Amino acid sequence: MDADHVIIGSGINGLVAASLLALEGRKVLVLEREETLGGCLRSDAITLPGFTHDVMAATFVLFMTGPAGAELGPHLERHGFEYCHTPHPTAVLRPDGSSLVLTMDQAKNVATFNALATGDGDQHARDVGEIAADAPFLFALLGGNLWSWQTAKLLFGQVRKRGARGLAAWMGSALAPARGWLEANYQSPLVQALWAPWGLHAGLTPETAYSAQMGKVIAFALEAAGAPIAKGGTASIVKAFKALIEENGGSLRTGADVERILVKNGRVTGVRLAGGEDIACQSVLASVTPGQLYDRLLDTVDLPEDRTAVRQFRHGRGDFQLHYALDKHPDWLTDGLDDVALIHLSDGIDAVSKSANEAERGMLPETPTICVGQPHRLDPSRCPEGKAILWLQIPDAPRVIKGDAAGEIASLEWDEATREAFADRLEAILSRHIKDFDAIKLARRAYSPRDLEAMNMNLVGGDPYGGHCGIDQFFLWRPFAHSTNGTGPVRGLIHIGASTHPGPGLGGGSGFNAAKRLGA
């Protein structure tokens, strides 16, 4: 036996699973198709020497506050992983220059919100308090194995606590869309605008079922834990994971493209690499999309139900990344934004809804929702002294272009010219809020959805969330209606990654759950 467990893919879920299993003395082997470990955990000097950019993923609040981070954090810290924080995790900046900054001080947030509209601060306290009160139940549903006796007992306990009708009412209210939550409960357009874009980072929109609940969870997490980044770049956590795995006898290989999962009599026996090498193992944890798993890795195995489901599986909007090296820290024309980790440029609910809808229809948004990160303010080691970095994520880019909502870009392909024209649109919006932006801009680097998929084949069409996150493809039904905790008819195979419960993000939840199922 070459390994006890083979992990396909070295993203956050694969690394979490490998680390937990290695700590239990299991012989693990991580196989990464690309030449660089980490999946979306990638940082590099992509603009100029000395400027370290997080190419894709950047913020670690889900890992820091989740069970994987709690268990592995001390081990990773020994190997050099360190969080960097700011007391101002997020803000919104509207086109007219008005802004609202969230702090990690709830009393201050309540006072600020109440000053904007009577009762808005009190409502915020109720919303995050509701999440805190339901945390043991809610976070078990959001992150645990749903098909398990533990979850069944949890639900039974809630029936005893709330009554059957009370639990049904709780479930129903949890399915509310963010638009309804924000418009019914907050009077200030600024408070509404602060929270409206955050659902996009969970693959949702203001009209999507359960986007209100996710908005409240995000509000709770940001206020309680902030928006931490990794000192030195996201690649630092990959380096720490690698050291931890190898310290405990595990191995990691790059340039190792798994061509097929080997199955005999309905059970995994190993994997075959593209070059013909066979590796024997007891189990395989595959951090891939459903299409890759069933159409490529298991293409010779008779799995009619899964293959039918793959044809129905939908991917979500694409992602667009834009990075800047600046000659100095941006001089925001609106005060109070200097030390904010993540700033959304958006006019509010309708603007977020419009840009997301345009992207879902294959249109380049006329006014995209832009998330601006300032990593150098949290971690000065990211760039030379006195210089600056901006990290821009646009979570509503079309995977396939059918047109331009602004009527300015004629191309229907994500080629270089289209990528740079769309980046120009984003830069024009950004530069309206920063004094003399052209004078301080040293270099920029853009990544279209096509570029992101070329770097990581799990990002189908640039979709960073492993598939559409609507309710029919989430929770019990992720990735398929018949899915059960990532397991199926092939014994010894566990499907992990963003396409499986608990979905996307840097929490490492599916890798954690899989490792625990295997006895880690």
% of the chain at pLDDT higher than 90: 91
Task: Give me the helix-helix angle, 349-360 and 178-185, nearest 10°.
Answer: 170
Burial of 149 (0-12, 13-18, 19+ CB in 10 A): exposed
Query: How high is the pLDDT of residue 266?
Result: 95
Q: Cβ(395)–Cβ(201) under 8 Å?
A: yes
Q: Average model confidence (pLDDT) for the chain?
A: 96
Question: What pLDDT does residue 78 have?
Answer: 97
pLDDT attached to residue 138: 84
Q: Does the pLDDT of residue 47 top 80, yes or no?
A: yes
- Alpha-carbon 17 to chain mean position: 18
User: To the nearest 10°, the Cα dihedral for 103, 105, 108, 109?
Assistant: 50
Nearest CA to 417 out of 401, 405, 438, 433 is that of 401
Count of helix runs (H) and strand runs (E) in the chain: 19, 20
Q: pLDDT by residue (tens digit) across 146-160?
A: 888 888 888 888 888
According to DSSP, the β-strands at 3-8 and 28-31 are parallel
Is the pLDDT confidence value at 366 over 80?
Answer: yes
Res 183: pLDDT: 98
The mean pLDDT of 65-70, rounded to a whole number, is 94
Q: Give this prediction's pTM.
A: 0.96
Q: How far apart are CA 117 and CA 280, in angstroms?
A: 63
**Beta carbons within 10 angstroms of residue 325's beta carbon:** 25
Region 329-337: mean pLDDT is 98
**pLDDT tens-digit readout, 166-197:** 889 988 999 999 999 999 999 999 999 999 99
Q: How far apart are CA 422 and CA 407, in angstroms?
A: 12
CB 455 within 8 A of CB 46: no
Query: Is 427 a residue whose pLDDT tops 90?
Result: yes
For residues 174 and 32, what is the distance between their CA atoms, to the nearest angstrom? 38
**What whole-number distance in Å separates Cα of residue 149 and Cα of residue 161?**
18
d(CA 130, CA 217): 10
**487 DSSP 8-state letter:** B
What digits encode the pLDDT tens for the residues 313-328? 999 999 999 999 999 9
3-state secondary structure 167-203: HHHHHHHHCCCHHHHHHHHCCCHHHHHHHHHHHHHHC
Tens-digit pLDDT profile for residues 449-476? 999 999 999 999 999 999 999 999 999 9
Q: What is the pLDDT of residue 15?
A: 98
Question: Within a 10 A sphere around the Cβ of 428, how many other Cβ atoms?
Answer: 10
For tokens 């419009």, the residue is 354
Phi, psi of 10 (to 5 degrees): -115, 30
DSSP letter assigned to residue 467: S
With bands split at pLDDT 50, 70 and 90, how would you rate the model's confidence at 69?
A: very high
Q: How many CB atoms are closer than 10 A to CB 384?
A: 15
Please say whether the beta carbons of 331 and 431 come within 8 A. Answer: no
Identity of the amino acid at 331: D
Per domain, the residue ranges of the chain are 3-49+64-84+232-313+469-517, 102-225, 315-455
Three-state secondary structure string covering 468-490: CCCHHHCHHHCCCCCCECCECCC
Cα–Cα distances (Å) from 302 to 103, 259, 265, 281, 295, in that order, read 53, 17, 11, 21, 11
Q: Which residue from 23, 40, 29 is spatially nearest to 4, judged by alpha carbons?
A: 29
The helix-helix angle for 12-23 and 509-517 (nearest 10°) equals 30
The pLDDT score that the predictor gives to residue 170 is: 87
**Average pLDDT score over residue span 82-102:** 98
Neighbours of 250 (CB within 10 A): 24
Structure tokens at 479: 């990735």
Count the helix, strand and coil residues of the chain and give each as a percent rounded to the nearest 5: 40, 20, 40
**Distance of alpha carbon 61 from alpha carbon 49, whole angstroms:** 28
Task: Give the number of other Cβ atoms within 10 Å of residue 126's Cβ.
Answer: 12
Query: Residue range 339-352: average pLDDT?
Result: 98
Q: What is the mean pLDDT of residues 419-438?
A: 98
Say whether 486 sits in a helix, a strand or coil: coil
Euclidean distance between CA atoms 139 and 132, whole angstroms: 10
Contact by Cβ (8 Å): 351, 399: no
Which of these CATH numbers, 3.90.1520.10, 3.50.50.60, 3.40.640.10, 3.30.1660.40, describes 3-49+64-84+232-313+469-517? 3.50.50.60
Q: Which of 144-153, 295-304, 376-385 is least confident?
A: 144-153
